[in-house]
């Protein structure tokens, strides 16, 4: 039996407790839908191959789950450094690259600092920057090609409070990679930090790794969520100047990479040949998908250097529903600047892409 509490019910005025910067933003939302074919999050459609899954579970069984993981993540950091072709002191491993974006912004951005970002792009950068009280400055990509707006960015990085420029290449959700020459121009002219998110780098023909040695103000973000099929286990890494890496590690949540994720990442790195074959298959399937989309009249696909394709269509919201009625879930990106007519579609397996194409052919005649 509980005796009645002598204390009165207490309500909180959230507006006075929560930071105004947080109250002001909408947050990152993902609507829930029933689906058969999932083409909405740019995941690896093949998943981790069965022998590797077995190997991960076998190794995991042999580990002591009641002990904390290695605080420094030493072995995994070394393995990732070797894979990426960078020195170990240039690597910070984290619980998905999202968590490293958060840690990095936390150590760099103070209220009033300016963060420059292109649009449309991955929305998390602006959201995290705003929560920290930074001022987000946006530069639109060039119409149609979605190339970098070099002159506008050059103007922005000259501003005295500009502290960070964030670029995503290949860019989500447009799919194109940016010119490395343009990127290097910006890195060399800017006194602040250039963050280059290369989450989709394995599907493209270029990366900025070679620039890392020459520019201390460049930092790359990478992930195991896309090419390596580990989105559910959360592993990402950052490559940058050793001095910066030291600071970012202070903001990383201790033990944020759990034993399972660590084990899975190591198994992937032990079987790179299998995963690299998957990547080649995804690139081939992307090209086949783009070719099959080309003759369609109601849909126009943009070129892609990633594992997804952006399409433009006359009635995107209706097409989204039309695909969903056939169990195909894609991403509605109509809310992004410049993309009012667009949907983003991940490259699926052969049969998933065939189902998508059959449905898009039906769409031509409805
Ligand atoms: N960067 C970009 C550009 C992305 O599209 C995503 C995932 N949608 C991420 C980072 C996040 O990756 P992770 O799963 O490593 O947090």
Q: For residue range 148-164, what is the model confidence (pLDDT) as tens digits?
A: 999 999 999 999 999 99
Please give the Cα distance from 189 to 110 (Å, whole number). 22
Do both 62 and 177 map to the same domain? yes
| Within a domain: 15 | no
Cβ(97) – ligand 1 distance below 6 Å = yes
Q: What is the pLDDT of residue 5?
A: 87
Cβ(223) – ligand 1 distance below 6 Å = yes
Residue of 218, 216, 141, 156 whose CA lies nearest to 183 = 218
The whole-number average pLDDT for the span 16-23 is: 94
Q: What is the pLDDT of residue 1?
A: 59
Strands of the 135-140 sheet, one edge to the other: 91-94, 236-239, 218-223, 193-197, 162-168, 114-119, 135-140
Do both 188 and 301 map to the same domain? no
Beta bridge partners of 328: 37
Q: Which of 270, 294, 309 represents a domain boundary (last residue)? A: 270
Q: For residue range 225-262, what is the model confidence (pLDDT) as tens digits?
A: 999 999 999 999 999 999 999 999 999 999 999 999 99
What is the count of structural domains for the chain?
A: 2
Cβ(346) – ligand 1 distance below 6 Å = no
154: its two tokens: 């050059």
Please give the Cα distance from 195 to 168 (Å, whole number). 8
Per DSSP, 340 falls in state T
Q: Which of 222, 237, 270 represents a domain boundary (last residue)? A: 270
Long-range contacts of 129-136 (CB under 8 A, 24+ apart): 129/105, 129/164, 130/21, 130/24, 130/25, 131/19, 131/21, 131/22, 131/25, 132/21, 132/105, 132/106, 133/19, 133/21, 133/109, 134/105, 134/109, 134/110, 134/163, 134/164, 135/161
Three-state DSSP at 155 gives: helix
The whole-number average pLDDT for the span 13-41 is: 92
Query: Percentage of the chain with pLDDT > 90?
Result: 96
Reply yes or no on whether the pLDDT at 31 is more than 90: no
Residue 302: CATH number of its domain: 3.90.1150.10
Closest residue CA from atom 12 of ligand 1: 97
132: its two tokens: 């920290």
Do both 137 and 226 map to the same domain? yes
Do both 68 and 211 map to the same domain? yes
Q: For residue range 113-143, what is the model confidence (pLDDT) as tens digits?
A: 999 999 999 999 999 999 999 999 999 999 9
Ligand 1: atom nearest CA of 101 is 10
Do both 55 and 180 map to the same domain? yes
Q: What is the pLDDT of residue 107?
A: 98
Reply yes or no on whether the pLDDT at 28 is more than 90: no
| Within a domain: 17 | no
Reply yes or no on whether the pLDDT at 19 is more than 80: yes
| Within a domain: 293 | yes
Q: What is the pLDDT of residue 30?
A: 82
The four Cα atoms 115, 123, 214, 227 give a dihedral, to 10 degrees, of 170
Do both 237 and 332 map to the same domain? no
- Give the residue numbers spanning the domain of 237: 50-270
Residue 182: CATH number of its domain: 3.40.640.10
- Choose the weakest-confidence range: 25-29, 199-203, 277-281: 25-29
184: its two tokens: 């290097």
| Within a domain: 161 | yes
Cis peptide before 167 (omega within 30 of 0): no
Closest residue CA from atom 4 of ligand 1: 199
Closest residue CA from atom 8 of ligand 1: 41
| Within a domain: 330 | yes
Residue of 273, 262, 284, 240 whose CA lies nearest to 75 = 262
Do both 114 and 217 map to the same domain? yes
Please give the Cα distance from 125 to 105 (Å, whole number). 9
Mean confidence (pLDDT) of the chain: 96
Q: What is the pLDDT of residue 27?
A: 80
Q: Which of 254, 270, 286 represents a domain boundary (last residue)? A: 270
| Within a domain: 320 | yes
Ligand 1: atom nearest CA of 97 is 15
The whole-number average pLDDT for the span 301-323 is: 98
Do both 60 and 164 map to the same domain? yes
The whole-number average pLDDT for the span 262-286 is: 97
Do both 354 and 257 map to the same domain? no
Closest residue CA from atom 5 of ligand 1: 172
The whole-number average pLDDT for the span 280-297 is: 98
Cβ(198) – ligand 1 distance below 6 Å = no
Judge contact between 108 and 163, C-beta under 8 A.
yes
Which of the four pLDDT bands, split at 50, 70 and 90, describes residue 29? confident
**Which residue is it, tokens 């990383």?**
252
* Dihedral pair phi/psi, residue 329, rounded to 5°: -100, 120
The whole-number average pLDDT for the span 297-305 is: 97
Q: How far is CA 152 from CA 95, 109, 117, in A?
A: 34, 22, 11
Do both 315 and 262 map to the same domain? no
Three-state DSSP at 65 gives: coil
Best residue for ligand 1 mutational test, from 39, 97, 307 (most atoms within 8 Å of Cβ): 97
Do both 239 and 313 map to the same domain? no
Do both 281 and 134 map to the same domain? no
Best residue for ligand 1 mutational test, from 122, 174, 202, 203 (most atoms within 8 Å of Cβ): 122
| Within a domain: 200 | yes
Distance 97 CA to ligand 1 centre (A): 6
* Dihedral pair phi/psi, residue 117, rounded to 5°: -145, 150
Cβ(121) – ligand 1 distance below 6 Å = no
| Within a domain: 146 | yes
The whole-number average pLDDT for the span 261-283 is: 97
């Amino acid at each position: 039996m509980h005796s009645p509490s002598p204390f009165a019910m207490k309500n909180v005025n959230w507006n006075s407790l929560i930071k105004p910067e947080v109250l002001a933003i909408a947050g990152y939302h993902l609507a829930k839908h029933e689906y058969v074919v999932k083409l909405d999050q740019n995941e690896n459609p093949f998943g981790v191959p069965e022998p590797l899954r077995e190997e991960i579970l076998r190794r995991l069984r042999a580990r002591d789950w009641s002990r904390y993981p290695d605080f420094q993540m030493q072995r995994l950091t070394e393995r990732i450094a070797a894979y990426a072709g960078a020195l170990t002191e240039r690597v910070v491993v984290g619980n998905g690259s999202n968590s490293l974006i958060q840690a990095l912004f936390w150590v760099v951005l103070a209220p009033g600092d300016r963060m420059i970002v292109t649009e449309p792009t991955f929305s998390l950068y602006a959201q995290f920057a705003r929560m920290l009280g930074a001022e987000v400055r946006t530069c639109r990509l060039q119409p149609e090609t979605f190339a970098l707006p070099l002159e506008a960015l050059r103007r922005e990085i000259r501003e005295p409070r500009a502290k960070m420029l964030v670029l995503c290449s290949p860019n989500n959700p447009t799919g194109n990679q940016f010119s490395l020459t343009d990127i290097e121009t910006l890195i060399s002219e800017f006194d602040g930090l250039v963050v280059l998110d290369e989450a989709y780098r394995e599907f493209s023909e270029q990366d900025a790794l070679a620039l890392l040695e020459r520019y201390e103000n460049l930092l790359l973000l990478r992930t195991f969520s896309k090419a390596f099929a580990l989105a559910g286990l959360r592993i990402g890494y950052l490559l940058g100047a050793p001095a910066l890496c030291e600071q970012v590690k202070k903001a990383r949540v201790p033990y944020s990479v759990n034993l399972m994720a660590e084990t899975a990442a190591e198994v992937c790195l032990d079987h790179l040949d299998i995963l690299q074959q998957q990547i080649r298959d995804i690139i081939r399937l992307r090209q086949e998908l783009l070719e099959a989309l080309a003759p369609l009249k109601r849909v126009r696909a943009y070129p892609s250097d990633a594992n997804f394709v952006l399409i433009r269509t006359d009635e995107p919201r209706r097409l989204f529903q039309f695909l969903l009625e056939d169990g195909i879930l894609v991403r509605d990106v109509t809310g992004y600047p410049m993309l009012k007519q667009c949907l983003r579609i991940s490259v699926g397996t052969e049969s998933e892409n065939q189902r998508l194409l059959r449905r898009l052919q039906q769409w031509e005649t409805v």
